[in-house]
Structure formats: C-alpha cells, structure tokens
Structure 1
Amino acid sequence: MKSRRLTVLCMALLWSGQVVSADLVEPSEPPQEEKGIWAAIAYSQTDTKYGFFWGADKRQEAKDIAQKYCENAGGKACNVVTVFRNHRHWTDDDKTGFPYKHCGALAVADKVEHRFTPWGVNSAETRREAEDLALQACEAGGTQCKIREWVCT
C-alpha cells in the first residue's frame, strides 16, 4: 500500500510540473553564432585601473581578454563594464538583437569624491558619441571627468 501511495504521489507531482524527468526535457537549442568584431572594456572601481580589447571573433573572448588586461594593470576588482561590436561584413545580421555599436569609451573623474571616483562608460556608433555619452554618465553628479580610454572595432 505504501508503494502505491508513493507511486500516485510521484505521478501527481510529475503531472503538476513539480518533478520533471530528464528524459522528458527537450534539449536546449545550441547558442546562435554571434557575428562581428567584438570589443570590451573592463574597469576596477576600487583603484581606477582598466583594460580593453578589440578585434575578438567572439563576445566572451573580448570580455575575458579585457578582464585580464585590467587585472594585469593592477586592478583588484575588475569587471567588464561594456561590450560592443562592429560588422565583420556589412551583410552581418545574426538576428540576436545585440546592437552593432562600433565604439566604446570610459570616462573617469579627475579626483576622488567621498572615497569614490565617479566614472561612466558607454558605446555608440561613433567615437565622438561614445565619448560624449561616457562623459555625461560620469559627470552626472557634477564632477569633472575625462576620457581614459576609447576603442572602436
């Protein structure tokens, strides 16, 4: 009797969606190829160190190398703060929805305010636009900032 109740309970859980057998789950779709020339900027807010990389074939490659360059520059808390890409071929459209923004920029304040150094980052289709957006983000608190790094793919 105990075995039958357990079987009924298991079937009820299975039908309710609470338990899913591994052989009933459809395999996930393989990740779609992301086309383009990838770039990334990593930044360490605690010590204002940064690293960047452009020219990668894959998004993760750009992120990993920018992170490593930031760490090699002495960054103790590096994080990738922007990733962007350019078309490798003008007909590229991988249908992922990730935009083709060709340039990125990092702006950092000249001085520390309350143990925090304001900073901003952004990407856009042109260097000028990326720099302007990064400066606006950095200077939103009223501090003076300057571009520390920019990169276009």
Structure 2
Amino acid sequence: MKLRSAIAAIGMLFVYTGQLGAADLLTTEQAPAPPPDERGIWAAIAYSAPDERYGFFWGADKRQEAMDIALKHCERDKGNKCIVVSVFRNHRHWDDDDNTGFPYNHCGALAIGKDENKRVAPWGANSASTRREAENLALKACERSGSQCKIREWVCT
C-alpha cells in the first residue's frame, strides 16, 4: 500500500506541473499532502504506460478516494504499472474555495499515440474547465513526441 501511495503522489506532481508524458515518469519528487478539508467533487484518471491500460473515477468526496478508485480500475483492467496521471475537481457549491490553490477543473482527458519505433506509446493527460479544453491540452502534451494521438478517455465531474 505504501508503494501505491508513493506512485499516487508522483502522479499528483504531474497535475501540479501540467507537464505530462511518458518520460516524466522518472521523477522522484513527491507532491505536497492535500489539506484534510478539500471541498468539491473529485475525479481521477490512472494510466499504465507499458500496456496502455487505464482507469478513471468521478464523483468522489475526497481527492484520495478518487485516486484510489481510478488506480483500482486501472489495475482491474490488467494495468501493470498504473499511476494517477490526472486528478481534478468540480464545485460542490459555488463558495467551495478552500484556499489551497488547487483549481476547480471540471474535466480531464487522456490521449495516447502510436509510435512503432518506441517501446512505450506517447501519452498526455490534463484537466481544464471544459471537456474540449481538457482534450486539447492532453492531445498537445501527447503530440509533443511527434506522434498522432487520440483521446482514449475523458471524464467530467
């Protein structure tokens, strides 16, 4: 369970930086622990790059719950190296600002490319206020590799 938490924390780092891709998986930095009273409706996307498996979840009351369930769904889909690549939230109430600086992005997307010359397919994930914007950001991150990418999954809270 400690390994899963460490992997989830590393996945959170990608959300904070907004820079995602298969090469970014080598970082060892950990994201700061979330405050206990984060408000909102949470969602997460988990991805296993070596086997292109993914899982997602939306509608959680807590960030960690969304992350844990997305990881579980990815592993259930036979993902061998699942990590959380995007976590985001929607307002439960419009006065939900918890002063954490974590944005209220309602949608997230995962894009995966095909490149026969690479061992791991290029990918990108991101979140934004709208589905279209999240998809565009995920595609842009994936296509930095020079590959043609397609949206594999999207979710909005």
TM-score range, shorter chain: 0.7 to 0.9
Pick one of 124, 133, 145 that aligns with 1:141.
145
2:63 to 59, 65, 81: 59
Separation in 1 of the partners of 2:47 and 2:116? 16
Aligned to 2:132: 128
Q: Normalising to structure 1: TM-score of the pair?
A: 0.78
Pick one of 35, 41, 47 that aligns with 2:39: 35
Q: Which ranges of structure 1 fall in alignment gaps of 5 or more residues?
A: 1-30
Tell me the equivalent position of 1:93.
97
Structure-1 residue corresponding to 2:6: none
Shift of 1:32: 3.9
**Deviation, structure 1 residue 111:** 4.0
Q: Distance in 2 between matches of 1:79 and 1:64?
A: 10
Q: Specify the alignment match of 1:14 in structure 2.
A: none
RMSD: 1.0
- Structure 2 equivalent of residue 15 of structure 1: none
Change (3 A) 1:32 1:95: farther
Name the amino acid aligned to 2:131: R
CA distance in 2, matches of 1:88, 1:54: 13
One-letter amino acid of the counterpart of residue 55, structure 2: G
TM-score by length of structure 2 reads 0.76
Match for residue 118 of structure 1 among 119, 122, 125 = 122
Q: In the aligned structure 2, how far is the partner of 1:112 from the partner of 1:53?
A: 30
SS in 1 for 2:119: coil
1:69-108 to 2 correspondences below 5 Å: 69-108=73-112
Percent of residue pairs identical: 71
Offset of 1:91 from its aligned partner? 1.4
**Misfit runs of 4+, over 4 Å:** none
Q: How many residues align?
A: 123
CA distance in 1, matches of 2:104, 2:86: 13
Residue in 2 that maps onto 1:26? none
Give the secondary-structure state (helix, strand or coil) at the position aligned to 2:100. Answer: coil
CA offset digits 1:66-115 (Å, max 9, x no partner): 00000000000000011100000111111111110110000001344321
Specify the SS of the correspondent of 1:92.
Answer: coil
